[in-house]
Amino acid sequence: MFPAVEGVAPAVTAVFTAVLTEGPISRVALARRLGLSSAAVTKAARPLIEAGYLEELAATERTGPGAGRPASPLAVCADREFFVGVKITGDELIGVVCDLRAQVRTSAHRRLAGAGVDHVLTELDELVDDLLDGFDRGRARFLGLAVSGDVDHSTGLVRYSPFLRWRDVPLAERAEKVTGLRVTVENDVKALTTAEQWFGEGVGADSFALVTVGAGIGCGLVVNGRIVSGAHGVAGEIGHIGFDVDGPDCHCGSRGCVEAVAGADAIVSRARAITGRPELTFDDAVSLARAGDAPVDAAFARAGTAIGAGIAAVANLVGPARIVVSGEGLSAYDLFEPHIRASFQRQAFGAAAACPLSIRPLPFEEWARGAATVSIQALVAS
């Protein structure tokens, strides 16, 4: 919780969240935004200023038409806390240190020799030490971890991560013992969505969806200003929407899922079968498709069609104001795009077809930033 801020009231949390995500902002604007009186905003801001979380900037605007006294906007003291965020993949750890505004201050990658839990935790501890070298450890108390798959955010339990081959791993508990930091664990797509909601394209948006294309096909949902997890924590798993009942087997136990057709491994498997080249990589498949290899290009077209159908399902069921498409698979987006858009237009019902799709390439450091943002959110919620 906030050091030196005792008995945190809802108004304190509301003021801090608004300044964090929308600031700098004046007290008058905060009062209008939160439905509070100016006196209530001043009272809520005082302990945050005293504890070093907020500061008053020089007066830059007037409080209203004809007002004589300029307002002094409130802003977050970004260096008050630092947060480590780490994205865990099957072969690499990607880590960042962010300030309270989720601005990345440093980053590092660490290769993994294997995905065993003990090995990953050992490498994680060393990566955290490297990242925090030169930072005040007293202001770096939080670690956020982003993992693909079925994650129970409330307990930090990784129920199932297909790419890591983990089942029922109490990751938060074990990582806290290793690093000595307070740990949050979240599904990687939901973590990325949290960063976009608080500090990216989703700021101020009542609803939006973030679809990720890469090793897996994921989706984070924001409805009525809140991330949707669902009763079981797996809302938004569009990668496991059925696309072709006669399609390839999926790691989830079903067959013909969007991910079984459009995930990077699925495309590579199809390209290897087409070419008879078992050593083919994803980048090789991209090169062949761009060079005019029609059968390999057809594998990307089929993948794009599946992704577009999954996105249309989101638009039909949730009706977001906009959909952002991201993920490491965007390196081949030129091969996907026309088929994604055509499939989306074909499958989206009525006015849902008007939902704008925006493309936002994000490196893995942004996924790690998402993990750090989940820790920032946990601090605010506490």
pLDDT 10s digits, 79-120? 999 999 999 999 999 999 999 999 999 999 999 999 999 999
Give the whole-number percent of the chain exceeding pLDDT 90. Answer: 69
Confidence band of 247 (pLDDT split at 50, 70, 90): confident
Give whichever of 41-50, 154-163, 171-180 has the largest mean pLDDT.
171-180
Nearest to 318 by CA among 208, 187, 194: 208
CB 57 within 8 A of CB 49: no
- Domain boundaries 81-193+366-381, CATH class: alpha beta
CATH number of 10-76: 1.10.10.10
Length of the chain: 382
Is the pLDDT reported for residue 155 higher than 90?
Answer: yes
CB 238 within 8 A of CB 220: no
CATH number of 202-359: 3.30.420.40
- Give the pLDDT of residue 60: 64
**Same-fold call for 10-76 versus 81-193+366-381:** no
* CB contact set of 147 (below 8 Å; sequence gap of 6+): 88, 158, 161, 164, 166, 171, 185, 186, 187, 188
The arithmetic mean of pLDDT across residues 45-57, rounded, is 93
pTM: 0.85
CB 83 within 8 A of CB 128: no
- Give the pLDDT of residue 169: 97
Token pair of 28 as six digits: 């008058």
- Give the pLDDT of residue 230: 77
Q: Using CA atoms, how far apart are residues 98 and 106, in angstroms rounded to an integer?
A: 7
Question: Domain ranges in the chain?
Answer: 10-76, 81-193+366-381, 202-359
Token pair 């990751």 is found at: 171
- Give the pLDDT of residue 163: 86
Is the pLDDT reported for residue 27 higher than 80?
Answer: yes
Is the pLDDT reported for residue 309 higher than 90?
Answer: yes
Is the pLDDT reported for residue 372 higher than 70?
Answer: yes
- Give the pLDDT of residue 329: 76
Q: Which residue has the higher pLDDT, 157 or 22?
A: 157
Confidence band of 7 (pLDDT split at 50, 70, 90): very low
Is the pLDDT reported for residue 72 higher than 60?
Answer: yes
- Give the pLDDT of residue 89: 92
Is the pLDDT reported for residue 339 higher than 80?
Answer: yes
